[in-house]
Homo-oligomer: A and B are copies of this chain.
Amino acid sequence: MLSARRLLVPRLSRCYATAAASRVVDSSSFAGGNHTPYFPDEPMGPSMLTNVPGPESKRIIQRLDQYQDTRSVFFVADFARSKGNYIVDADGNTMLDVFAQIASIPVGYNNPAFLKLSSDPAFQTALANRAALGVNPNKDWVESVENAFMRVAPKGMSNVFTVMCGSCANENAFKTAFMYKAAKRRGEKDFTMQELSSCMSNQAPGAPDDMAILSFSRGFHGRLFGSLTATSSKAIHKIDIPAFDWPNAPFPQLRYPLHENEAYNRQVEQASLKEAENMIQNGKKTIAAVIIEPIQSEGGDNHASPEFFRELQAICKRNDVLFIVDEVQTGVGATGTFWAHEAWNLPTPPDMVTFSKKFQAAGFYTSPHLRPAQPYRLYNTWMGDPVRAMQAAAIVNEVYDKDLLQNVRNVGQYLQTNLQQNRKIESVRGQGAFIAFDLENPAQRDKFLLDMRQLGVNVGGCGEKTVRLRPMLTFQKHHADILLDTMDKAL
C-alpha cells in the first residue's frame, strides 16, 4: 500500500526544500476523492529557515515571559502569513500544521470565507456591541442560532445553550443534569426552606452531597472545578486542586488495530460497561449523568466501539441517568461526520452534546424538557458570543459547500491505511482524519514531535506515548503525503 501511494502521488516532500516555491500541484496525479486543492495559493510544502523555535520566536517568548508563563509555547506564530493548512512562524518557517491550535482551526488559516465575514456589517455590529444574550439578544441572534447550531444539530436535539469555552459547556451540562435529577426526586413539591437556606452555606440538602457525575478513567472534560473533577487524563492537571468525590468508571483499554482484536476488545468493553452500571446502581452517590468522549483525546486517543456507546446509553436509560457526549474535540467534522457520535447509530439522541474548539463557539445541545422549571438557574452574563456564533455559521457553510466531510473521510481512510503499513509506529487507530498512533515510549514520542517540527510538520502528542493527528477539515491527500514522507524521515 505504501508503494501504491508512492506510485500515485508526487513525492512533494522530497524536494520541497529546494523546489517548493516553484512547484505546481498536478491535481490529476491524486489517487481519488477531491483532487482540487481548497487553497490554490497555499505553500506547496514546508520550508524551513531556522530551527523551531527560531531566534525571533525566542525573542518574543522571552519578552512575553515577563507577563505570562511561556513554558508551554512551541513557537510564535505569524498568522498573517499562514495560509490554509500551513502555519508560518515568527522566523518565517512554513510548517504543515497537523495540530491546528489544539484542534481549534476548522477550515484553514485565513480562510477567505472567514476573512470576508470580517467586513460584513452585521459581524462588525456584533463585534462592537457585546450582547448579554440572556437579557438583550440582538435581532439577528436567532438567525445565528439557526444557521450555526440548529443546521447541524444532532438528530432529535432541538435546543442549544451557548457559553464561552469547553469547560463552561461541560459544567453547564452538569448543572442541567443535577437540576433535572433533583427535580425528579422532588416531584411536584417546591423547594423547602431548609434547601433554600442550606445551599447558601454550601451544605446539603440544598447543595446536595449525594449526587455525582460519572466519568471515565483517562477522560478529559476540562480544567475548572467541576469539569476537572470529571477529568482523569493526567495527574499534573489535578494535583493540589480540591475535587468533588465523584467516581470514574474504567474506560475500556482496547488493543489496536481494532479489527484484529475484536474478541478481546469486546470482553474489555463488556467489563467496563458492567462496572459502570455497578457504580451507577451500587455507588455511594446518585449519578445524575454520565459524561464520555467519543474518542478520549487528551487521555491518549482511546477508542471504543459503537456497540459500547449504544450499550452505555442503554444503561443510562434504564437507570434514569442522563447521557452527555463531550464532543469538544471530536465534533465539527474531524471524524468524517459532523459529530463523532453519529457513527454509533444511537436509537435515540444523547441527552446533551457539548462542543467548543473547532466550532469557535462553545455550548451544548439539549432538549426543552431539560430546561429548569425556574428561570435564571442556567444563566450568566454573556451566554455565549454572537461573533463566534456567526463564525460557526460560516464554518457550517464551508463544510457543506466544499463537501469537507467527504474529504475528511477520504483523506482519513488514505492516512489510516498508509500508517498501518508503517512498522515503526504502533497501535494506529482513527475515525476519519482523527487519527493517532503510539511510539515505543514517552521519550521517543517527544523526540519524534520535535524532529517532525524541525522537518516542517507540526504535530502534537497526547496520553503517554501517543501522537495525535488533528488536521483541519481542509487537509487533503497531497498534505497527507507530505506528512507520511516526513514521518519516514523522522523515524
Contact = CB atoms under 8 A, between A and B. Distances in A.
Interface in A63-111: 63-64, 66-69, 71-80, 82, 87, 90, 99, 101-102, 104-105, 109-111
Interface residues of A, number: 130
B125 A225 contact: no
Instruction: Give this chain's copy count.
Output: 2
Interface in A341-375: 356-357, 360, 362, 371, 374-375
Interface stretch (A38-46, A193-201, A260-268, A310-318): A193-201
Nearest to A153: B67
Given A132-B104, A136-B75, A238 B206 contact: yes
B171 A68 contact: no
Contacts of A236: 374, 376-377
Contacts of A119: 119
Contacts of A237: 376-377
Given A115-B124, A238-B200, A243-B199, A381 B102 contact: yes
Contacts of A68: 145, 159-162
Contacts of A241: 175, 178-179, 199, 207
A73 B238 contact: no
A118 interface: yes
A145 B67 contact: yes
B379 A240 contact: no
Contacts of A24: none
Interface string A413-444: 00000000000000000000000000000000
Interface stretch (A13-21, A244-252, A397-405, A479-487): A244-252
Nearest to A162: B68
A27 interface: no
Interface string A127-152: 11111101111110110011001100
Contacts of A111: 128
B67 A158 contact: yes
B240 A76 contact: no
A115 to B, nearest CB: 5
22 contacts: A60-B137, A67-B150, A68-B161, A73-B134, A73-B136, A80-B122, A90-B139, A102-B132, A105-B130, A110-B125, A127-B391, A164-B168, A167-B224, A178-B242, A196-B235, A199-B238, A199-B240, A200-B235, A202-B244, A202-B246, A202-B248, A208-B242
Interface of A: 56, 60, 63-64, 66-69, 71-80, 82, 87, 90, 99, 101-102, 104-105, 109-111, 114-115, 118-119, 121-132, 134-139, 141-142, 145-146, 149-150, 158-168, 171-172, 174-175, 178-179, 182-183, 191, 195-197, 199-203, 206-209, 211-212, 217, 222-227, 229, 232, 235-248, 356-357, 360, 362, 371, 374-382, 387, 391
